[in-house]
Chains A and B, each alone.
Chain A
Amino acid sequence: MASSESSPKKGKSPTPRVPMPTQEPLARIKNFAEVALGYAEDQALIEASRCIQCKKPLCVQGCPVEVPIRDFIAHLQKNDVQKAYEVIKSTNSLPAVCGRVCPQETQCEGNCILGKKGEPVAIGRLERYVADTYMALSACDQITGKPECPLINEDLKVACIGSGPSSLTAAGYLAARGIKVTVFEALHEVGGVLIYGIPEFRLPKGIVAAEVAALKEQQVDLLPNWVGGKTFTIKELFDEGYKAVFIGVGAGLPKFLGIPGENLIGVFSANEYLTRANLGRAYDFPHWDTPTFPGRRVAVLGGGNVAMDAARTALRLGAEEVRIVYRRTQGEMPARHEELEHAVEEGVILEILSAPVEFKGDSQGRLTSMVIQKMELGEPDASGRRSPVPIEGAFQELACDMAVIAVGAGPNPILLDSTPELKRTRRGYIDANQDTGETSMPMVFAGGDIVTGAATVISAMGAGRRAAKEIARRLLGEDAA
């Protein structure tokens, strides 16, 4: 499962994709700075020139928020970053985030026509280049005069609960149309998983902060430390004059495995481990107060982005050995290709076809080892992936003093428990209309992971945008939306 860059090419491919400059593996596991460094101007221009400007661009069809990809690349080909940025921003409010964390290989780049014969255009990297370059440019804009923010109508108030990508996107869309938005966030920082989950070395906090600052300029009010369902209820929002509510509270409930020994000291949910490291900046302890656990031999359970992030964080926090324990094979891991590759480069060991069955500890209740059951691949299951089948009697014991469980998340219960009138799906997520995000409660909309289950940043943004469109249409009428 090597990346497209190193895979053998069939037929003739015009020019190879420009590789992404990165920090050297040995250096980067000692710091939390960003791993992928971004294209320089000449690299971006060469990569942009590879795009053949298709009449019917397939790439766009793969983009959940329909960024006019061909058009932004066309501007970039003329080195007009500002125009390229405006085109991207017309549908994507967080391009610097998406350029870094979207699974492009299964979305835009997966559809790019060049990928049929050789390597697709590096659309994600170009998006990141445009967003980053423009962010630097916009500082000069402060002097030369900025585009005016629309006048905000204080009577038309909309509340967004949660501050992940779905809410931030909805807020941006509504504010741009003159609607007053308040974002309520339970934690002390705004950004959702972008802040507490995805580590600094993949998505610097400064990038999220810049996107959030742009919302503040649009007079969006951000209220951290306000917990929907505890500090306030949805009904109270309407009593306070809010005309519509968007719920984007994510899928934050950690799943555990339900196997013996799970409460031993040293066994963490990925949420706890990453929240300590990212939201609590535990990598800067004791300068920041939140401590983290000093794992030496670490086992991370799972094969998605969350597992990669936990494993790579553990390396950076000084672990000597980090294993990713996954019950299928590398090819089935749901993580972004780039993250998996980076993890392996950094020395993370892949312990595939292995399912945890028990954690063992000492008399102090501290984790000392983990028993895994070896698996083999059987018939394809409903997801189309070959399902793991236990090999009878094949158990193995792995010594470890820390384990991080990254096997998914469920719907966060706090808001839902306080709002029983909100209709839920069989799996416990909010039942919302696919096109409009409307829920069973009038003028209450929902989107992102709390509707779909753990998914992606861009799909959460797409949902935020669709709901905001519908809210704007209801509040402002057909044309203004």
Chain B
Amino acid sequence: MQQTPCTIVKKERLIPGQTSKLVISCPHIAKKAQPGNFVILRVSAQGERIPLTIADADPEAGTITMVYLVMGKSTAHLETLEEGDALHDLCGPLGQATHIEQVGTVICVGGGTGIAAMHHIAKGHQRAGNHTVAIIGARSKNLLLFEHELKSFCDEVLIATDDGSYGHKGFVTQVLEERLKTDKTVKEVVAIGPVPMMEAVSKTTKPFGVKTTVSLNSIMVDGIGMCGACRVSVGGQVKFACVDGPEFDGHQVDFGELRQRLAAFKPQEALSFEAFKERHGK
């Protein structure tokens, strides 16, 4: 076992300036990464520890894939790295792997950058022999991610765009609801994306009594169960998203609390981003 720099071997700007995909060489993590796992990384010596989902892993090639949305300072800094550059720190795989069983039909709903994270989980469900349906959505056609990747292995890929520029016009939840009304073989719904989307999906599935799994993006610091920053309320109990999750039963999650806690550091995040933009002449 040795420390080798975790280098970016491939970078793809999926939506320029907004979303990118990185393939990173880190054999020790690639070997272990399961669907549902995430990593904690730092871009620089002074950087913050931020969590990103492992969107794909190739143990043979020794690489993992991550897809991120430029949100603030740390992801903007990450966006400045190019192929050949190394991450300062990369730690993982962390979190519980997705619980995957052969159950029948599984619908995987992805929104925004969450589609990438969902993609690794959908792959797991497909491999386990489930009839796997992906429902993905974005504001508009040019913001849609991973359509081709998903089409390469999913049994069905359904698409929704807010502006109707592609697929169903409207939200993924409408497509999901239609499906649940007509298809009684659906045994599980997985939703990954922005908090409001995961909340809406959970509301949609509730009347149908279909098991619903969401992946919570609470604020994390260490990612190994030592700080409690990531605590979320699930079924009235306090859980640590980094070690007990990040996936939980969507019908039990207190989404309101999660939304509030995600806003805890808003003013500081803005400050940090401004300082960064100034330094980088933007």
A residues with CB within 8 A of B: 182, 186-188, 221, 223-227, 230-232, 240, 252-254, 256, 262-263, 265-266, 268-269, 271-272, 275-276, 280-281, 285-294, 364-365, 412-414
Shortest distance from the beta carbon of A57 to any chain B beta carbon, whole Å:
39
Complex Cα gap A268–B90 (Å): 25
Q: How many A-B residue pairs have CB under 8 A?
A: 130
Across the interface, A287 reaches (CB within 8 A) one of B46, B48, B226, B227, namely: B46
B residues with CB within 8 A of A: 1-3, 28-29, 32, 42, 44, 46-49, 73-74, 88-94, 221-222, 224-229, 231-233, 238, 243, 256-257, 260-261, 263-265, 268-269, 271-272, 275
- Which residue of chain B is the closest to A225 with respect to CB atoms? B91
Complex Cα gap A465–B93 (Å): 31
Q: Known contacts A186-B91, A232-B28: does B226 contact A252 (CB below 8 Å)?
A: yes
- Which residue of chain B is the closest to A265 with respect to CB atoms? B264
Shortest distance from the beta carbon of B282 to any chain A beta carbon, whole Å:
16
8 nearest interchain CB pairs?
A291-B268, A365-B260, A252-B226, A289-B48, A272-B227, A269-B228, A225-B91, A188-B89
21 A–B pairs (Cβ distance < 8 Å), ordered by A: A186-B91, A188-B89, A223-B3, A226-B28, A227-B224, A230-B224, A231-B28, A231-B91, A231-B92, A253-B226, A263-B261, A265-B260, A266-B264, A269-B229, A271-B228, A272-B229, A275-B221, A286-B272, A291-B271, A294-B268, A364-B260
- Which residue of chain A is the closest to B48 with respect to CB atoms? A289
- Which residue of chain A is the closest to B28 with respect to CB atoms? A231
Which residues of the partner chain B approach A186 to less than 8 Å between Cβ atoms?
91, 222, 224
Q: Known contacts A225-B90, A291-B272: does B32 contact A231 (CB below 8 Å)?
A: yes
Shortest distance from the beta carbon of A300 to any chain B beta carbon, whole Å:
15
- Which residue of chain B is the closest to A184 with respect to CB atoms? B1
Which residues of the partner chain B approach A224 to less than 8 Å between Cβ atoms?
3, 89
Q: Known contacts A263-B233, A365-B257, A413-B225: does B46 contact A281 (CB below 8 Å)?
A: yes
Pair B264/A226 contact, Cβ less than 8 Å: no
Complex Cα gap A440–B255 (Å): 43
Across the interface, A290 reaches (CB within 8 A) one of B3, B48, B232, namely: B48
Beyond A230-B93, A263-B233, 18 additional contacts (C-beta under 8 Å) are A186-B91, A187-B224, A223-B2, A227-B92, A227-B94, A253-B225, A254-B228, A271-B228, A272-B221, A275-B221, A275-B222, A276-B221, A280-B48, A286-B271, A288-B46, A292-B268, A293-B265, A364-B263
Pair A187/B222 contact, Cβ less than 8 Å: yes
Complex Cα gap A254–B221 (Å): 13
Which residues of the partner chain B approach A231 to less than 8 Å between Cβ atoms?
28-29, 32, 91-93
Which residues of the partner chain A approach B272 to less than 8 Å between Cβ atoms?
285-286, 289, 291
Complex Cα gap A187–B92 (Å): 10
Which residues of the partner chain A approach B231 to less than 8 Å between Cβ atoms?
256, 263
Complex Cα gap A287–B47 (Å): 9
Pair A225/B227 contact, Cβ less than 8 Å: no
Complex Cα gap A208–B28 (Å): 28
Pair A265/B1 contact, Cβ less than 8 Å: no
Complex Cα gap A288–B92 (Å): 23
- Which residue of chain A is the closest to B88 with respect to CB atoms? A188
Shortest distance from the beta carbon of B222 to any chain A beta carbon, whole Å:
6
Complex Cα gap A286–B276 (Å): 9
- Which residue of chain A is the closest to B1 with respect to CB atoms? A240
Complex Cα gap A399–B172 (Å): 44
Shortest distance from the beta carbon of B238 to any chain A beta carbon, whole Å:
7
Complex Cα gap A215–B2 (Å): 17
Complex Cα gap A251–B231 (Å): 18
Shortest distance from the beta carbon of A340 to any chain B beta carbon, whole Å:
25
Complex Cα gap A291–B225 (Å): 19
Pair A230/B233 contact, Cβ less than 8 Å: no
Across the interface, A289 reaches (CB within 8 A) one of B28, B47, B91, B226, namely: B47
- Which residue of chain B is the closest to A242 with respect to CB atoms? B1
Which residues of the partner chain B approach A254 to less than 8 Å between Cβ atoms?
226-228
Which residues of the partner chain A approach B229 to less than 8 Å between Cβ atoms?
268-269, 272
Pair B238/A262 contact, Cβ less than 8 Å: yes
Which residues of the partner chain B approach A240 to less than 8 Å between Cβ atoms?
1
Which residues of the partner chain A approach B260 to less than 8 Å between Cβ atoms?
265, 364-365
Shortest distance from the beta carbon of A442 to any chain B beta carbon, whole Å:
21
Complex Cα gap A269–B46 (Å): 23
Complex Cα gap A275–B221 (Å): 8
Complex Cα gap A205–B7 (Å): 29
